[in-house]
Amino acid sequence: MGYHPGTEDDGVYLTAVKSDLNPALYPHDSDFFRLQLQATLFDRWIAGFVRFTHIPLAGTELLFQFASIFVILAACWSIARTFFEDERVQWAGVALVAAMLTLPVSGTAVYLADQHLHPRNMATALVLLAVSRILRDKRWQAVPFLLVSFVLHPIMALLGISFCFFLTMALLEPVHAWLRSLRDALASVIPLGWIFESPTPSWHRALETRTYMFLYRWTWYEWLGAIGPLVLFWLLWRVALKHGEAKLARFGLAVFAYGVVHQAASMLVTGSPALVRLMPMQPMRFLHLVYLFMVLIGGCLIGRYFLKASALRWAAFLIITCFGMYASQRVLFAASPHLEFPGTRSSNPWLESFEWIRNNTPRDAYFALNPKYLEAPGEDYHSFRALADRSQLADEVKDTAVVTQVPELASDWEKQIDAASKWQNFDLADFQRLKRDFGVDWALVSYPAPQGLDCRWHNQKLSVCRIP
C-alpha cells in the first residue's frame, strides 16, 4: 500500500491540523484549507490528541492510519463471518481487501483507502463496523458508529447511512414492501434552495478541471467499472438465493439496490445544468462501498472455490495480488520512498527543498511556485503547505478541488493562478509583480534560478529565493 503523508488530499487535512496546533502558521490564503474543513471535526480531533498525549504529529498520523486500516480489516472479517463459516474463506476475503486497499474506484478519483491519514479512511472503518452490527441484528449499535463517521467525513457517512438503510430494509422486509417504502422516502425529499443557485464563471472553470465529476464524459471502461459491479451483485443475489444462502442473497440485493438508486441519482445530477451545484458532492463516490464489498465477497468466493486448503494456491494468490498493487504504487510514487515513515530522510529534491524551507525561512513567509508543481516530474503530489509549513499562492491542482467545494474561493483562486500562469517564462519583473499584487516575498524555482532573485539555497533541481 505504501505510506505517503502530505500527499494529495493530505495537503488540506495535514495543513489544517498543523494550523490548529500552531495558529502562527499560514497567515496567507489559509481559506484554501480551512473552509473545506468546516463540516468536519477531523483536524481538531487529531490536534487535540497530539496536545493530550504529546505524541508528535507525524507519529499520531501514522498511529491513526494504522488503526484505521486495522479496523477496516477487522470489520471486513466480521462481515465475512456472517456469510461464510469456513475460516479460510473468511480470511481469503480479508486478505484480498488488504492487498487491494489502493485499488482505484472507477471514475471517482478515490482509492479503497488512502496512502495517508484521511478522514475517509476513518469514516470507512466506522461505516463497515456499522454494517457488521446490522448484519448481526444489532442495528442500534450501528448508530453511534455512523454518527461519529458523520463528524469525520460527512459525504462518506451519508453514503454509509444510505447503504445501512438499504441493508436494513433488505433484511427486515419482503422485497415488494421495501421498494414501496423506498419510493415513499424518495418522494418526500425536498431540495434545498442553494442547490439552484447560479455559480460564478470562476467556479465553473475550477469544476471543469475535475473531469471525473462529469459522468457523461466518462470513457467506456469507466462506465464498465461503474455498471459491472452492480451486475455482479445482482448475480450474487440470484445465485445465493438459489443455493439457500439467504443472508448473503439479501446482502447482494442491498448492494445492488443501493447502487442502482445512487447511479440513477448521479445521472440526474450530472446531466442537469440546474443541479450543477450538487456535483461537488461527487455522487458517483457511492461506488467506494460497492467496490469494498465486491473485493471482500470476491475474495471469499476465491477462497471457497479456488484456494481451499492448498498452500501453493494461497501463496500464488498473495504474491500476485500484493506484488501487483505494490508495483502500481511504485509507478505512482516513483521518486519517493515506498514508506515515508517519521524520521526517515528522502532523496527526493522536492522534499529536500520543503524541509529546508520549513527549517530556515520565517513562519510568515509567503511563497510563489509553479501553480502546477504537484504534477511536476518527481514531485509525487507532495503538498508544499503540508510539508514546508509555509503559505503559498493557490495551485492549479489540489486547490482547484477545494474551490469546487467552496465556491466563494473561486475569484481569489482564479486571480492567483492567472497571475502565475506563464511560470516557465518568469523573470525578475514577473516575480516582483507577484510581490506587488499579492505580497509574496519568497519563491521556489527551478535551479539555476532566474537572474536577480536573492537565492539562499539550492539542490540539483530547485532553488529557494527571496524576491527583492
Q: How far is CA 375 from the centre of its chain?
A: 17
pLDDT in tens, 83-119: 999 999 999 999 999 999 999 988 777 899 999 999 9
* pLDDT score recorded for residue 186: 46
Ranges of each domain in the chain: 10-39+342-466, 61-308
Share of the chain above pLDDT 90, in %: 66
CA distances in angstroms from 437 to 152, 175, 302, 416, 431, listed in the order given: 37, 63, 61, 9, 10
pLDDT at 203 over 50: no
Q: Which residue has the higher pLDDT, 141 or 36?
A: 141
* pLDDT score recorded for residue 106: 81
Which pairs with CB-CB distance under 8 Å and at least 24 residues apart come from 234-239? 236/297
Q: Which residue has the higher pLDDT, 369 or 223?
A: 369
Q: Which residue has the higher pLDDT, 388 or 411?
A: 388
* pLDDT score recorded for residue 33: 81
Helices 410-419 and 398-405 pack at an angle, to 10 degrees, of 160
Q: Helical H runs in 84-153?
A: 87-99, 119-135, 142-152
Quick one: pLDDT band at residue 128, thresholds 50, 70, 90?
Answer: very high
Q: Which of 250, 291, 285 is nearest to 97 (CA)?
A: 291
Mean pLDDT of the chain: 86
Q: Which residue has the higher pLDDT, 187 or 337?
A: 337
* pLDDT score recorded for residue 412: 86
* pLDDT score recorded for residue 413: 85
Which residues share a beta bridge with 367? 392, 442
Chain position carrying cell 483507502: 113
pLDDT at 271 over 80: no
* pLDDT score recorded for residue 315: 96
CA distance 278 to 404: 10
Q: Which residue has the higher pLDDT, 298 or 170?
A: 298
pLDDT in tens, 302-343: 999 999 999 999 999 999 999 999 999 999 999 999 999 998
* pLDDT score recorded for residue 123: 96
Q: What is the mean pLDDT of residues 222-236?
A: 85
pLDDT at 192 over 70: no
Q: What is the mean pLDDT of residues 271-277?
A: 50
CA distance 64 to 70: 10
CA distance 419 to 55: 41
* pLDDT score recorded for residue 174: 59
